[in-house]
Amino acid sequence: MSNNKDLDEFVRKLFGDGKKKTVDAQVVDTENEEPANPKKIKIPKEKKPLDIRKWTKAVVAAGCIIVIAAIALLNVYVVKENEYKVIRQFGEVVKYEKTPGIHMKIPFIQSIETLPKNLMTYDMTEEEINTLDKKRIIIDNYAVWRVTDPKLLISNARSLPNAEARMEEFIYSVIRTELGQLNYDNIINDKNTSRGSINDEVTKKVNELLQADHYGIEVVDVRVRRIDLPKENEQSVYTRMISERESIAQRYLSEGDANKNRIMAQTDRDVKQLIATANKDAALITAEGEAEAAKIYNQSFSKDPNFYSLYRTLESYKKTIGEETVIILPSDSPYARVLSGYAN
């Protein structure tokens, strides 16, 4: 109480005494002068001293409100559509939020960790495996995956990179087993490849392994991006591939030549057969024509035998007498008489 009285006395001296002196000075001045209008003289009222306790309470209340508001704002978190919010309490996962909206955590006790909710792509490192026919190949593939249970992921894998590392180990283990059961040609041949079914089988088996260990993630798809040969094997494999392609080309050429010869032989047989048939038909037609002509000749010449004899003689001239033909005949030969112009 003595401290409050001393404070009040100090304030009174600081503000009250000064005002009193001012009032006294004004009164003295008015006493020396004649009051022209006494009503116009104003004596200021004494102001009340400040209430320190009241102001202290107001400042403390305002400070408490600011601190409470700051604590509330610092412990409010927002969950987006493409993420999970994992709530830890003293380091242990107590729950996770996946519903979009505004949520609240317990101050100073709980902490928040964010995990992605959308599909993610993981590019795996290249690995070398052996095929069934003992050939080495380098596999480069990728996986599409997502988080299904953040609580299990944090509890068992501890972090997202650890979960990706375990997923990569499972994928390569399964791929090594599956491709090790196939020959090299079956893997790289686009027409007879089995990579489509292998991708589905790998995805299925990897998910079974992840579920068995409770990692809280799921592999949506596993795809082989590229298959290469080791550097030291490339030239020998290329040489063998060239030799195989040349043998295939030679086989195609041989088959083409055989087909060509077979087609040409068949064509020659067909042509000969057609020509023989045509000649046969032509001979038959010629024979029929000659027979018909002989028949007509016989009918015509039988009407005048002398004319027929003359005609045959003239026809013989065409065959026996040329430009430089020399014929020696007796003078009384009928043939000579006809040549000489004597009919009788």
DSSP conformation letters of 116-128: E-S-EEEEPPPEE
Q: How confident is the model at residue 275 (pLDDT cuts 50, 70, 90)?
A: very high
Q: Look at residue 316 in the predicted model and tell me its pLDDT.
A: 76
What whole-number distance in Å separates Cα of residue 201 and Cα of residue 182? 14
Judged against a pLDDT cut of 50, whether residue 50 lies above it is answered with yes
Q: How confident is the model at residue 218 (pLDDT cuts 50, 70, 90)?
A: very high
DSSP annotation of 270: H
- What residues contact residue 150 under an 8 Å CB cut-off, 6+ apart? 84, 86, 93, 96, 115, 216
Question: Of 192-196, 305-309, 333-337, which has the strongest mean pLDDT?
Answer: 305-309
- Helices marked H in 122-224: 150-152, 160-179, 184-188, 195-212
Q: Look at residue 30 in the predicted model and tell me its pLDDT.
A: 43
Rounded to two decimals, what is the model's pTM?
0.51
Reported as type and span, the H/E element at residue 258 is helix 231-301
Token digits for 164? 């990706």
Judged against a pLDDT cut of 60, whether residue 287 lies above it is answered with yes
Say how many C-beta atoms besides its own lie within 10 A of residue 145's C-beta: 24
Which of these ranges, 99-103, 269-273, 297-301, has the smallest mean pLDDT? 297-301
What whole-number distance in Å separates Cα of residue 146 and Cα of residue 107? 30
Q: What are phi and psi of 131, to 5 degrees?
A: -85, 180
Q: Are strands 120-123 and 110-116 parallel, antiparallel or unpaired?
A: unpaired
Instruction: Tell me the mean pLDDT in the region 176-192.
Output: 76
Question: Of 95-104, 195-204, 263-272, which has the strongest mean pLDDT?
Answer: 263-272
Judged against a pLDDT cut of 80, whether residue 340 lies above it is answered with no
What whole-number distance in Å separates Cα of residue 139 and Cα of residue 125? 9
Q: How confident is the model at residue 267 (pLDDT cuts 50, 70, 90)?
A: very high
Q: How confident is the model at residue 109 (pLDDT cuts 50, 70, 90)?
A: confident
Query: CA nearest 327: which of 315, 311, 339?
Result: 339
* Degrees to nearest 5, angle at CA 45 with 43 and 46: 130
What single-letter amino acid sits at 220?
V
Q: Give pLDDT tens digits for 56-107.
A: 877 888 888 888 777 777 778 888 888 998 888 887 888 888 888 888 888 8
Question: DSSP for 102-147?
Answer: EEE--TTTEEEEEEE-S-EEEEPPPEEEE-TTS-EEEEEEEEEEEE
| Percentage, residues of the chain above pLDDT 70 | 79
Chain mean position to CA 63: 60
Reported as type and span, the H/E element at residue 336 is helix 334-340
Q: What are phi and psi of 180, to 5 degrees?
A: -70, -10
Q: Is residue 103 within 8 Å of 85, Cβ to Cβ?
A: yes
When the pLDDT of each residue in the chain is averaged and rounded to a whole number, the result is 79
Q: How confident is the model at residue 8 (pLDDT cuts 50, 70, 90)?
A: low
Which of these ranges, 160-169, 185-194, 217-226, has the smallest mean pLDDT? 185-194
Instruction: Tell me the mean pLDDT in the region 44-63.
Output: 72
186 burial via Cβ count (<10 Å: 0-12, 13-18, 19+): middle
* Degrees to nearest 5, angle at CA 27 with 24 and 33: 145
